[in-house]
Structure formats: structure tokens, C-alpha cells
Structure 1
């Protein structure tokens, strides 16, 4: 027995020793890929020495004597910190994920191959202007210099993920950068899903009035430039002005409904600024990932220094400022995608119907290689309207008639896309006027570009606007027949027709993805918009002051008051507030009274430390589900975010919308008050199961945590605790500090989409400008810069955004010198 015990002890000790050795070896190999920021490296392909000064947050300040060398330095810095991110994004755009991840990414690869955006990117390279071609080539050379360094010095393959997934690291090409711009366009576009959902809902309901309830038109004439404050606040003076201070399969690149692009931006002219200098605030919204999609950087160009946020893979600062110009972006919601039904010739399935008769499909074979499995060969098809989409995706199979296929027209599929030239040129523009001119080169993704220089503020919708025929049968809102000539696009509208707001009289311009302009079809921008609520709060905050400061713009970015809550709670609870006698302790009625008492005293602030936001959010979610579940059946699951306009229409009985409150399958006729009461009980039961029955102890932050998930390792047991960044957050779906909820179980209120970057720029004192990103600069989980900015971001703090290189040097964590051989 003693002998057996000794052998068991020895075996256990050996197992522990092997585990320790394995852990240490894994750590050693992984740590080999940690970038050394303090080094001198001889590289070819540069015209003069480059210095990359990393400030104390590891933000690179790239000092070069030529623009070409500055872009080389940016490529090198991106590859130092985000090589895995670069390679995964490139493989996604190319439709080559299955080579390393196997069959679980076949659906993603199939879509990207059929869209063929990489071919469009390769064809677009020659259409860039000379300075952009030079930037693309130099940037690629910088990435490749880092790859060569990794290979030559055995630097752990460049990122720890490469040890887990055998993936060759091919040299970077200029087309790769253009493909990533197109990939971003895909992640910012939601009109495909909107068209399909409208079609499915229309087929199910059959009543146009009820369709207008659940998919409401955006009211009003649009908001962009605010009027003179004197007309809104008569007698406003100095005292008032100063008062107060999961989306599909693995790596699926298409956003779920409600999670396409968003963002906030606003700007103030000198007359609306306390310091008499222009101001701009911007916080673009994307899905949360670790690392963030954003990468902070500063570059010294021949036109001067620029600083802001870049996207690894793209040789430009997409948002930021120079000494002469600052710019920010929001998703414009331009309707730049249309679906078409294509009729197949019943006598020859290789042909489709056109206005002039049947015509052969354009075809090409494409082979998808799958790890550890035989390859799959696709036959790619195109019509005059665009590529044929897989019928198994986007629920197309549920709306496509027999004998038909569905194609997509989309601006991002252009083979002459000069969006990269616009992005590069904007960094070098010296004024709003120059920025307006260079931005005519934008094709996709369409954005609302807001700019300031020393004395002017402006907003311009940039990106190609499809030219549609006034006789289009669906107005682009539903899939239409591709063989009808009036349904087809006829090129693009001239850039001059894109909405613009230049030096508005009221001195304030901005966008929260709201309806910005009201023009009749086909000169409209969109029928679908991303916001009907935040704009109400923004208008109030902006017009609540005669003049603004950098700090008041920061305050607005961090505002967590929900106008939807302030509007809807009095409506849905109007027959429930303080009615009847106190219910017995421990009964559902008593719990309901406690919840209503809390909500009655709440100001609508979605603060992470309060219980009321969780009660409100759960109530509204349960309410919408009760209203639509019996009418829409399983389709109700697609409406997984509360639509305030729908709830308001129902409870105000707009055009008979209160009919939604009656449960079709029940014998009695339910009122809206009945449904509101039942929904509140549903919400309280759910809260009790998930968080306990003590309502006063609830915290919104427990349910509304932001998880910045590693796109590949974020679901892997044990590893996920090291690679995911989780933070409790305030805000909600309809607050200026937007924290879009997932809408799906098991965490319907998890914060999954928001401002991964925030920046505020003050041209009265440009170096007092500030910015922040949501995680950290490094994509390496072992780096202290992987998540070091996360808590600052969560607390609403910022980093200084200065072009003073002396400040960066004073607290640098390293200086990399790239020298000529």
C-alpha cells in the first residue's frame, strides 16, 4: 500500500511538473511576441530614419521626414500591436477563414466569396490618386518589415494566436487595405436585413397600417443644424449659459438588426463657444471587441501633424485632427443596398430575365479550402444588378419565389472605389472647404462627415448615393423585380446632391444617426434611420446653453438620460400609478407596487448603480414581446430591441394601433393597461429569477456589462477570462452615451455595441483636445497595454491629444528607431 501511495505521489508530482513546464513554455513562447517598443531596427524601403515615440499609453507618435515614411511607420506600428487582427480581417475579406478555422467559418467565407469584395478591392487600386497609392505601398511595406523582423528574430510568430491556429502570414498588399475598407462597409450596412424583415413582416401581417406600427416611419422633417438659440430660448443670457457643468455564425461579419453602424457627432462655431474657438465631439459606435477596432496614433506629415484613431489595415486616421482641421463621422444610414429578385429562364437555368429578354449569368468558379476537410467549389453568379446571394442567408429563402434568385446592388461593390483616397486626403486638408472637396472621392461606407477649422463648422453626407427611378416599384424598401428597368440603378447622383450643412446660422451642427433631412424619393437619403430618441436629448443639451466648452461637450458625450424612458413610462403606467390599496406583503401585486414607486421617482438616468433602469428595461422588453408575439409568432424574435415609436403609437392609439394590445387567441378583449400590468409582472418574475427579489438592491450595471470579447478566443473556456475585457457600464439603447444591448438571451441587456472611441477637439487650444479608446493599444493579451485604457473609458476619462512631441517623449514607454541599412 505504501509503495502504491509513493508511486501515485510520484506520478502526481510528475503531472504537476509537466503542467508547470507546459505553462511556463507556453508563457515563454507567447511572450516572445510581445513587441519591444525601445529598439533600433534596420529596415529597407524607407527614404530616411523614422522615429516612433510611444507615450505612456503606448500611443505611437510617428516622426518622419516624408509622408511615405510616415505611412511606413504606421504600418509597422499596426503590425507590432495588431498583427493577428490584421490577418483575421484580411482573411475575412478574402473569404479564407476556413483554411485555419475549419467548417465553422464556411458560411462566412461563402458570403464573402459571393460578394467578391476582394476582387473589387484589387481592381480599385489603380483608381487611387498618386499620394494614396504611395501611402498604400509604404504602409504595406511597413507591415511587411515587421513580418520579416518576426521571422528573422523568431519573435513568437508575432502574436500568441498564431501558435493555436496554423496560419501563413502572407505579405501585405495595397489591395488588402482597400478590402478592409469594404469589409468595414459591410459591418456598417443593415439595409439587406431591413428589406428582408420588412418583406417577411408585410407577408405575415398583410395590413399596411399595422406594418407602419411595428416598422414605423421616422417622424419630422429631420434635424442636423440647430436654429439660432435666441428663437428657442428668448432672453437666454450668460447666467443660464454657465449653469451646470451576437450576430450569426463564428466571425460572421454582417451585423444583426439594430447593431449596424451608429455614432454621435456635434460641432460648435466660434459664436457658440465660450472660448471663441470651434469645438467638435465624436464617438463612433461599433461592436465591442478585444482589442478594440480603433487604434490611436499620431503621424507627422508634410502638411503637419495629425492625431486620432485609425483602423488597423487602413493607412489613415479615420477620425481625429490636425492643426488646421478636425473631423468626425457617424453612420449616415444612406440606402446604398437594394435586393433584386432575378427570374431564371425555365428553359435554360444558366440565364436570367432582363428588360431586353434572357441573358446568361456571368459565372466564375471559386474554391474554398477547409482545414482537415476536402475543399468546396462554389459557382459564383452575377447579373447586371450584382452578385447572386446565398439563398440560405439573410432569410432569403423565406421570401424568394420559386424559380428566382436574389442579387444585391451595393455601392461598396464598385471596382472604381476611391474611398481610400478621400481618407488619406482628408488628413492633409487645410480647411473645411478642402475637406469638402476631397470627400467627393468617398464611395462606401457612406458617412456623415462633420468638420471644423478655425472658424467654420460643417456636416456633409459623403459616399455614393444611388440614382433610382421615381417609378421604382418598392422605392428601394423591399426586394424588387430585377428585370423591370425602372427598378434598376442608373449610376449615382452627383456629389452636389449629397446633403450638406455649411456654417449654419445657429452655430451648432450634429448627428446621432437621426433623420437628418426630409426629401422625397428618389432624392431621399433613407427610409430607415438609426435613432429617433438620442436626438431629442442632444437637441435639449445643445440648446440648453448659449455657449459650449470642451467640458460641456464631454458632459454631453457621457450623458445617460433616456428620453425614451421619460416619454414611455408615463404612457404605459398611466393607469397603474398609485392606484388601489397597498397589496399584501409577498404578493405579485405588492412587488408591482414597489417597482412602480421606484419608477415614479426616477428621472430616466440609465446609471449603472441604480435599480430603476433594469426594472424599466425589463418591463419594456416584456411589454413589446406581449404586444407582438401573438401577431408575429416566431418572427417576433427578430424584433429583439424595444422600438419606442411602436410603443408610443400603440399607447396613444395612433391610427388604431392600440389593436396590438388585444390578444388574438384569447376570448376577452385586453386593454393596453392590462398588457402593461401583465408585462410588468413578467419583468419582475424575470428579475427575481436572475437577480433576486430585492428591487432596491438591483444595479443596472450588473445586467448592462460591456464585454469586449476576443473574436476568436472569447468563448474558449479558461482562456476567455484572460482575453475578454468586461466592464459594468451606464447608458442604454437610447442615451447619448449609447450602450446598445444584445437583445438576446441569456444576457439581453449586455452592452455589446457602443463608443469604442471618444474624442473632443477644441480649436481655441488644440493641444487641450482629448481622446480615448475602449480597451488598449495592444492586441497581445500579455501586454499591460491590452486593456489599460478600459477603466479610463468606463469612468468617462480621456487622454490628452497633443501634437507636442516633447510631452510624448517625457513619459514614453519606448522609442523605436527604424533606420536605413
Structure 2
């Protein structure tokens, strides 16, 4: 026995030693790829030396004598800090993820191949102006200089992830950067999904009034009645089939409904500014990741200094300011996607119907290579309306009649996309007029550009606006027969038709993804908008002051009061407040009464430390599910976020909307008060099972954690504790400090989508301008700059946004000098 014990001790000791050695080796290999920010590097491709000063927040300030060398420097610093992220985004756009991740990403690769984004990007390189092509080539040279340095000096392959995944790292090309803009367009476009959902819901609900309830139009001038989808697509079945799109696929690039894009931006003219200069606040919203999609940088161009938020892989300051101009962007919700039903020739399925008869599909074969599996050969097909998408994507199979396929028209599917040229020109624009003129080149994704110079403010919708025929059968709201000429796009509307607001009389302009303009079809912008609630709070905060300051703009940017909560709680609780008989402690009735007492005294602030936001959110979620589940069946799961306009219509009984409160399958006739009470009980049971604590001890922030998760390593045991960044946060779906919830799964209130970048620019005192991102500058999880800005972001703090070189050099974390070989 003693002999066995001795050997067990020896084996255990050996295992511990091996584990420690393996951990040490892993750390050594991973840490070897940490960039050294204080050194000189001789590189090819420069015309003069480049100095890169990293301030104490690790924001690189790039100083050189030419624009070309400045873009070279930007490519170099992006590759220093975010090489893995850049490679992953490029492979996504190329449809080549499966070469690394195997079968888990086949659906993702298949979709990107069918959209043909990368080939369209390659074709678009020649469409750029000379200055932009020069910037793209210089940027690519900078990225490649860093890759070459990694290979020559054995710098840990550039990032720890490259040790875990055997990914060949091809040189960066100008087309790669254009492809990333197109990939961003895919991640910011939601009208395709809206069309599919409206079609599916139309098939499930035969009453047009009920369809108007659950998919309401933002209040404003109404539109003419539309046909239901069954009349447009004979053979489509009236049912509520559960969907099965690729949204569960690993690294699926298409956002879930409600997460396609958001953002806030507002500006004040000098006469509405206490400092006498223009003001601009902007916070674009995207899905959270670790690291953030945003990367802060400053460049010295021939036109002057420019500083703000970049996206690694794209050589442009996407949001930020120069010495004379400030700009930010918000999702415009322009309807820039249309689905078309394409009828197959019953005698030859390789042909489809057009207004002029049958025509052969344009086809091409594409091979998807798969790690540890046989390759797949796809046959890509295009019609005159656009690429053909499979029924397995976007739930298209649930609405496509037999003998038909679905094609997509989308402004981003352009082979002469000059959006990159617009981004480069914007950085050089000296004033508002030049900025608006430069943005005519912008194609997709459509955005609201809010811009200021030292004396004027403006907002304009930028991006190509499809021209539709006034006789379009569905007005772009539903998939329509592609063989009918009136349903096809008629080109692009003139840029002058894009809505714009220049030097408004009130001195304030802004956007929260709300309805921008109400023009009749076909010159409208959209029937689906991203916000009907935040705009009300924004209006109150802007008009509540005669003049604004940088700090008042920050206050609005960080505001967490929910106008939806203030509107809906008095409606759904109208017959429940302070009613009911006395109930003993520990009973469901007593718990319901206590919840109502808390909510009655609450002001609607979605503060992370309060219990009321969690009770409210759980109640509204349970209420909407009770209202729609019996009518929509499995389709109810697609409505995973509360729609305030729907709840308000039901409880105000607009056009008979109170009918949703009655459960059709039950013999009794339920009232809206009954449903509200039952939903509150449902919510309290869920809260008790999930959090198991007294109502007063609940914290909204425990449920509303911001999920800055690593897109690849975030679910790997043990590693996830190092690579994921989780933060308790305030805000919610309908607050100006927006923290969009997941909507699904066991943790439906996780904060998954919000302001990864915030900036406030004050041209009355430019060096007092501030900005922040939600994680850190580095994509290396062993770097102290991986999450150092995240806690500032969570607390609503910012870092200075200055173009003063001496401020950058003060307490810098390093200076890199690139010298020409």
C-alpha cells in the first residue's frame, strides 16, 4: 500500500509539473505576440519616416509628412493590435471561415459566397478615385509590413489565436478593406428579415388589423392598404411554421431582428451652445464583442489632424473630427433591400420568368473548403434582380411557394461601390458643404450623417436610395413577384432626393433611428424604423435647455430613463395598482402587491442598481408572450423583444386591438386586466426561479450584463474567463444609453448591442472633446490594454480627444518609429 501511495504522489507531482510547464509555455508563446510600442522598425513602402505616439490610453497618434505614409501607419497599428480580428472579418467576407473552423461555419460561408461580397469588392477597387486607391494601397502595405515583421522576428504569429487555429495569413489587399465595408452593410441591414417576418405573420393572421397591431407603423401619416402575402404568392401556406435559418451558425454575420443597427447623434448650432461653438454627440451601436469593433486613432493628414473611431481593416476615421469638421453616423433604416419571388420554368428549372419571358440563370461554381471534411461545391445563381438565396437562409423556405426561389435586390451588391472614396473624402472635407458633397459617393450601408463645422450643423441621409415604381405590388414591404416589371427596381433616386436638414431654424438636429421623414411611396424612406421611444426622451432633453454644453450632451448620451416604461406601466397596471385583498406574507398575491408597490414609486430609470427595471422588463416580456402566443404559435418566438407600440395599441384598444387579450383556445373570455395580472405572476415566478431573492434585493445590472465576448474563444472552458469582458450596466432597449437585450435564451436581458463608441465634440473648445470605446485598444487578452477602457465606458467616463501632439506625448506608453528601408 505504501508503494502504491508513493507512486501516486510521484504521478500527481509529475502531472502538476507538466501542467505548470504547459501553462508557462502557453503563456510564453502567447505573450511573445504582445507588441512592443517603443522601438524603431525599418520597413518597405514608406516615402518618409513615420512616428507613432501612443498616449496613456494606447491611442496611436500617427505623425508623418504625407497622407500615403499616414495611411501606412494606420495599417501598421491596426495589425499590431487587431490582426486576428482583421483576419476573421476578412475570412467572413470571403466566405472562407470553414477552412479554419470546419463544418460549424458552412452556412455562414455559403451565404457570403451567394451574396458574392468579396468579388464585388474586388471589382469596386477600380471605381475608387486616385486618392482613395492610394490610401488603400498604402494601408495594405502597412498591414503587410507588420505581418512581415512578425514572420521575420517570430513574434508569436501576431496573436494568440493563431496558435490555436492553423490559419494561413495572406497579404492584405485593397479589396479586403472594401469587402469589410460591405460586410458592415450586411450587419447593419435588416429589411430582408423584416420582409420575411411580415410575410410569415401575414400567413398566420388573416385579419389585417391584427397584422397592423403586431407589426405597427410608426405614428405619422398612414399608407394605403397592402395586399396580404398569400395574394402575392399563390401557393404559400397559411400557417405559422417555426423558422430554421442559419442564425445559430457559428460566427453567423447577420444580426437577429432588432439588432441590425441603431445609434444616436445630435448637434447644436452656436446659438444653442453655451460656449459659442457647435456641439456634436455621437454613439453608433453595434453588437458587442471583445475586442470592440472600434479602434481609436489619430492621423496627421495634409488637410490637418483627424481623430476618432476606426474599424480595423478599413483605412478611415469612420466617426470623429478634424480640425474644422466633426461627424457621426446613425442607421437611417432606409429600405435598401427587396426580396423577389422568382418563378422557375416547369420545363427547365435552369430558367426563371422575366417580364420578357424565360431566361437562364447566371451561374458560377464555388468550392467551399472545410477543415477536416470534404469540400462542398456550390452552384451560385443570379437573376436580373440579384443573387438567389437558399430556402434555409432567413426562413425563406417558409414563405417560398413550390416551383419558386427567392432573389435579393440590395444596394450593397454593387460592383462599383464608392463608399470608401466617400469615407476618405469626408476626412479631408473642410466644412459642412464639402462633407455633404463628398457623401454623394457613399452607397451602402445607408446612414444618417450628422456633421458640424465651426459655425453650422447638418444631417443628411447618405447611401443609394432605390427607385421603385409607384405600382409596386407590396411597396417593398413583402417579397413580390420578380417577373412583374412594376416590382423591379428602376435604378437609384438622385442624391438630391436624400432627406437633409441643414442649419435648422431651431439650432438642434439629431437622430435616434426614429422616423426621419414622411414622404409618400415611392419617394419614402422606409416603413420600418428603429425607434419610436428614445426620440421622445431626446426631444425633452434637448428642448429642456435654452443652450447646451459638452456636459449636457454627455448627460443625454448617458441617460437611462425609459419613456416606454413611463408610458406602458400606467396602462397595463391601471386596474391593478393598490387593489386586491390583504394577502399573507409568502403568498403569490402578496408578492404581486409588493411588486406593484415598487413599480408605482418608480420613475422609469433603468439603473443597474435598482430592482424595478428587472420587474418591469420581466413583466412586459411575459405580457407580450401571453398576448401573442395563442395567435401566432411557434412564430411568437420571433417577436422576442417587447414592441411598445403593440402593447399600447392593445391596452388602448386601437381598432379593436384588445382582442389580443382573449385566449382563443379557452372557453372563458379574458380581459386585458386578467392577462396583465397573469403575466406579472409569470414574471415573478421566473424572477424567483432565476434569482431567488427578495424583490427589494434584485439588481437590474445582474441581468443586464454587457457581453463583450470573444467571438471564437468566448465559449471555451477556462479561456472564456480571460477573453470575455462582462460588465453590469444600466439602460435598456428604449433608453438613450441604449443597451439592447438578447431577447432569447435563459438570460434574455443580457446587454448584447449598444454604443461601443461614444464621442462628444465641442468646437467652442476643441481640446475639451472626449471619446471612449467599450473594451480596450488591444485585441490581445494578455495586454493591459485589452479591457482598460471598458470600466471607464461602463461608468460613463471618457478620455480626452485632442489633436495637440504634446498632450499625446505626455505620459505616453510608447513611441514607434517606422523608417524607410
Q: Following superposition of structure 1 onto structure 2, how do residues 18-57 of structure 1 map, counting pairs within 5 Å?
A: 18-57=18-57
Cα distance in 2 for residues equivalent to 1:220 and 1:555: 29
The residue aligned with 1:243 is: none
Partner in structure 2 of residue 366 of structure 1: 366
**Alignment-derived partner of residue 466 in structure 1:** 466
For 1:618 and 1:624, the matched residues in 2 are separated by 10
Whether contact under 8 Å (1:248, 1:256) holds in the other structure is no
Residue in structure 2 matched with residue 148 of structure 1 by the alignment: 148
Counterparts of residues 267-306 of structure 1 (less than 5 Å): 267-306=267-306
SS of residue in 2 equivalent to 1:761: strand
2-side partners of 1:517 and 1:49: how far apart?
A: 49
Deviations 1:229-271 (A, max 9, x none): xxxxxxxxxxxxxxxxx95311000000011110000000001
Secondary structure of 1:300 counterpart: strand
Q: 1:497-536 residue pairs with structure 2 within 5 A?
A: 497-536=497-536
Q: Shift of residue 727 of structure 1?
A: 0.2
Show the counterpart of 2:254: 254
Deviations 1:216-241 (A, max 9, x none): 0010369xxxxxxxxxxxxxxxxxxx
2:622 equivalent to 1:627:
no
Q: Residue 227 of structure 1 aligns with which residue? A: none
Aligned equivalents of 2:668, 2:22: Cα separation in 1: 67
Secondary structure of the structure 1 residue equivalent to 2:461: strand
Q: Is the 8 A contact 1:339 1:479 kept in 2?
A: yes
The aligned counterpart of 1:554 is: 554
Classify the secondary structure of the residue corresponding to 2:284.
strand
Q: Whole-Å Cα distance in 1 between the matches of residues 692 and 360 of structure 2?
A: 63
**1:744 counterpart SS class:** coil
The CA distance in 2 between the partners of 1:574 and 1:6, in whole Å, is 74
Match of 1:808 in 2: 808
Q: Deviations over 1:751-787 (max 9, x none)?
A: 0000000000000011100000000000000000000
Q: Secondary structure at the residue paired with 2:318? A: strand
Alpha-carbon displacement from aligned partner over 1:580-627 (angstroms, at most 9, x marks no partner): 332222111111100000000000000000000000000000000000
Question: Per the alignment, in what secondary structure is the counterpart of residue 293 of structure 2?
Answer: coil
| Deviation for aligned residue 1:693 | 4.1
CA distance in 1, matches of 2:350, 2:606: 56
Count of residue pairs the alignment pairs up: 798
Shift of 1:321: 0.1
Is residue 772 of structure 1 aligned with residue 772 of structure 2? Answer: yes
Q: Distance in 2 between matches of 1:801 and 1:567?
A: 38
8 A Cα contact 1:742 1:751, kept in partner: yes
Q: Give the Cα–Cα distance (whole angstroms) in 2 for the partners of residues 7 and 596 of structure 1.
A: 65
2:192 aligned partner: 192
Matched residue, 2:339:
339
Question: Match of 1:442?
Answer: 442
CA contact (8 A) 1:340 1:482 kept: yes
Mapping of residues 547-586 of structure 1, within 5 Å: 547-586=547-586
1:732 counterpart residue number: 732
CA 1:221/1:777 → structure 2, altered by over 3 Å: closer, same or farther? Answer: farther
The residue aligned with 2:781 is 781
Q: Deviation per CA, 1:6-32: give whole Å up to 9, x if none.
A: 222111111111111100000000011
Secondary structure of the equivalent of 2:389? coil
- Between the aligned partners of 1:582 and 1:276, the Cα distance in structure 2 is 60
Inter-partner Cα distance in structure 1 for 2:739 and 2:221: 27
Q: Does 1:657 align with 2:627?
A: no
CA distance in 2 between counterparts of 1:292 and 1:301 reads 25
Tell me, in whole angstroms, the C-alpha distance in 2 between the residues paired with 1:383 and 1:755. 38
SS in 2 for 1:619: helix
Cross-structure match for 2:9:
9
Inter-partner Cα distance in structure 2 for 1:63 and 1:206: 64
Asked if the contact 1:221/1:517 (under 8 Å) is kept, the reply is no
RMSD: 0.8
CA distance in 2, matches of 1:248, 1:502: 43
Aligned-partner Cα distance in 1 for 2:794–2:74: 27
For 2:58 and 2:591, locate their aligned partners in 1 and report how far apart those are by CA, in whole Å.
Answer: 51
**Cα deviation per residue 1:511-548 (whole Å; 9 max; x = unaligned)?**
00000100001100000000000000000000000100
The answer for the alignment partner of 1:707 in structure 2 is 707
Q: Quote the residue 2:419 is aligned against.
A: 419
SS of the aligned residue for 2:740 comes to strand
Matches within 5 A, 1:184-223: 184-220=184-220
- What corresponds to 1:237 in structure 2? none
Secondary structure, aligned partner of 1:305: strand
Q: Matches of 2:598 and 2:351 in 1, distance apart?
A: 64
Q: For 2:175 and 2:491, locate their aligned partners in 1 and report how far apart those are by CA, in whole Å.
A: 24
CA distance in 2, matches of 1:537, 1:744: 27
Maintained 8 Å contact 1:105/1:251:
yes
2: distance between equivalents of 1:756 and 1:30?
26
List alignment gaps of at least 5 residues for structure 1.
223-245
Q: What are the ranges of 5 or more consecutive residues in structure 2 without an aligned counterpart? A: 223-245
Q: Is the 8 A contact 1:51 1:63 kept in 2?
A: yes
Which residue of structure 2 aligns with residue 115 of structure 1? Answer: 115
Cα distance change of structure 1 residues 314 and 221 upon mapping to structure 2, 3 Å threshold: farther
Q: Structure 2 CA distance, aligned partners of 1:691 and 1:23?
A: 36
Deviation per residue, 1:483-509 (Å, 9 max, x gap): 000000011000000000000000000
CA distance in 2, matches of 1:642, 1:602: 20
Work out the CA distance in 2 between the residues paired with 1:74 and 1:582: 68
| Residue 135 (str. 1) matches residue 130 (str. 2) | no
Residue 389 (structure 1) shift: 0.5
Who is 1:616 aligned against? 616
**Whole-Å separation in 2 of the counterparts to 1:286 and 1:4:** 59
Whole-angstrom CA distance in 1 between matches of 2:329 and 2:207: 38
The 2-side partners of 1:820 and 1:301 are apart by 19
Q: Indicate the SS of the match to 2:56.
A: coil
CA displacement 1:709-735 (0-9 Å, x = unmatched): 000000111110000000000000000
Deviation of 1:390 (Å): 1.4
Q: Is the contact between residue 550 and residue 761 of structure 1 (CA under 8 Å) also seen in structure 2?
A: yes
CA distance in 2, matches of 1:206, 1:325: 52
Name the CA distance, whole Å, in 1 between partners of 2:720 and 2:255.
22
**For residues 636-662 of structure 1, what are the alpha-carbon distances to aligned partners after superposition, in whole Å with 9 as ceiling and x for unaligned?**
000000000000000000000000000
- Whether 2:352 is the aligned partner of 1:357: answer no
Q: Does 1:646 align with 2:634?
A: no
Distance 2:492 2:808 in 1: 45
Report the 3-state secondary structure (helix = DSSP H, G, I; strand = E; otherwise coil) of the residue aligned with 1:576: coil
Equivalent position of 1:179 in the other structure: 179
Q: Which residue matches 1:589? A: 589
Q: Deviation per CA, 1:684-716, whole angstroms, max 9, x where unpaired? A: 000001112410011000000101000000011
What is residue 105 of structure 2 aligned with on the other side? 105
Judge conservation of contact 1:290–1:723 (CA < 8 Å) in 2: yes
TM-score, length of structure 1 as denominator length: 0.97
Distance 1:248 1:457 in 2: 42
Provide the C-alpha distance between the structure 2 equivalents of 1:297 and 1:221, rounded to a whole number of angstroms: 43
Change (3 A) 1:208 1:433: same
Give the match for residue 410 of structure 1: 410
**C-alpha separation in 1, matches of 2:293 and 2:282:** 16
CA distance in 1 between partners of 2:403 and 2:330 (Å): 40
C-alpha distance in 1 between matches for 2:192 and 2:516: 21
